[in-house]
Amino acid sequence: MYAFKFIKAHSIAQALQLLHHDENAKIIAGGMTLIPTMKQRLASPTSLIDLSAIPDLHHIQLHDRFIEIGSLCTHDQVSKSSLILEHLPTLAKLASMIADPQVRFKGTLGGSLANNDPAADYPAAVLGMGGTIKTNVREIKAEDFFQGMFTTALHMDEIILSIRFPLGQRASYQKFRHPSSGYALCGVWVSSSANEKRVAITGVYPCVRRWPQAEDHLLQNKSAPSFESTPIDLENILATHDASAHYKAQLMRVLCSRATQEVMP
Ligand SMILES: Cc1cc2nc3c(=O)[nH]c(=O)nc-3n(C[C@H](O)[C@H](O)[C@H](O)COP(=O)(O)OP(=O)(O)OC[C@H]3O[C@@H](n4cnc5c(N)ncnc54)[C@H](O)[C@@H]3O)c2cc1C
């Protein structure tokens, strides 16, 4: 590892001031992605601005129509919060499926969304539920937030403060873990409310995305349908040496059926 400054910010204002002061500075939350990236020299910030001591970023609050989760909440906290277990149990389950206990104790919701790994789990929940990402300057709808592989709508000096997850949906998340990394080879989130069905796919494309043909199929059926002949955009699938486009497409179909059976029995 090379030399860099490590500064603990105690407020958002201080973190922003530090970011403006050094154009090569980077925010650090859990460090679960940033530190390995630095070790591999894929990133070499001159200073790290640690958000962990900022008190306003650790809350989990129930509102009338949504639950707001502070960006610094760890996967472990999300998986065990009594409020989330009661009102968004599928989100708690998804958090418990991320990596291993060590990563879940350090990795954060905000860090995962800002990183936008194509195989990360939370993006499927945020897009699948129609969540909103609140930053120090604006509120960004999930549809506008995830823009491409490791790319989001965040500007250089924008910090995620919290994420709002709407209530009143039945949901299921089905994940097929990569046997070595634990990341999603394919993850399917299905949400159903009185007037909307949403299907979000992670692990398959360069960026999380909805599967509109499956959503239409769900709207046309009262009970859980099969997705055997639902069209899939094969061309843009991120095929790897261990998972071809056809294999990932088949996983999408199978996992979507399983998720739908839970949501629309
Ligand atoms: C061995 C291993 C296995 C893993 N398996 C999985 C898995 O199965 N599923 C999964 O989804 N993830 C997995 N992860 C990723 C992990 O869960 C973390 O979510 C992820 O590493 C990022 O969170 P972090 O808090 O550690 O962010 P950091 O590493 O601290 O930061 C990541 C990036 O986000 C930026 N950032 C952080 N917080 C904010 C903020 N509040 N506002 C703006 N920008 C911010 C940083 O500047 C940096 O660019 C795994 C990681 C490891 C090391």
Q: Which of 142, 166, 190 is the last residue of a domain?
A: 166
Q: Which of 151, 166, 181 is the last residue of a domain?
A: 166
Closest approach atom of ligand 1 to CA 181: 3
**Residues of the chain with pLDDT > 70: what percent?**
99
Domain housing 220: 170-263
Same domain, 87 and 189: no
Which residue, 152, 114, 167, 161, is CA-closest to 134? 161
The answer, as to whether pTM is greater than 0.85, is: yes
CATH number at residue 95: 3.30.465.10
Same domain, 144 and 44: no
The yes-or-no verdict on residue 222 having pLDDT over 80 is: no
Same domain, 149 and 93: yes
Q: Which of 33, 52, 100, 202 to mutate to test the pocket of ligand 1 (most atoms within 8 A of CB)?
A: 33
Closest approach atom of ligand 1 to CA 160: 42
- 255-to-114, 191, 236, 245, 259 alpha-carbon distances in Å: 26, 13, 19, 15, 6
The yes-or-no verdict on residue 224 having pLDDT over 90 is: no
At residue 130, the pLDDT reads: 98
Tokens of 97: 């499926």
Same domain, 250 and 190: yes
Tokens of 68: 């707001």
How many whole angstroms separate alpha carbon 21 and alpha carbon 17? Answer: 6
At residue 223, the pLDDT reads: 78
The yes-or-no verdict on residue 53 having pLDDT over 80 is: yes
Q: Which of 130, 150, 166 is the last residue of a domain?
A: 166
Ligand 1: distance of its center to the CA of 62 in Å? 25
Q: Average pLDDT in the 8-19 region?
A: 97
Q: Are 211 and 203 a contacting pair, CB within 8 Å?
A: no
Same domain, 87 and 157: yes
Overall domain count for the chain: 3
**What is the chain's Cα-based Rg?**
18
Same domain, 226 and 142: no
Q: Average pLDDT in the 156-160 region?
A: 95
Tokens of 143: 């549809």
At residue 231, the pLDDT reads: 94
CATH number at residue 46: 3.30.43.10
The tens digit of pLDDT for each residue in 101-156 reads 999 999 999 999 999 999 999 999 999 999 999 999 999 999 999 999 999 999 99
The yes-or-no verdict on residue 232 having pLDDT over 70 is: yes
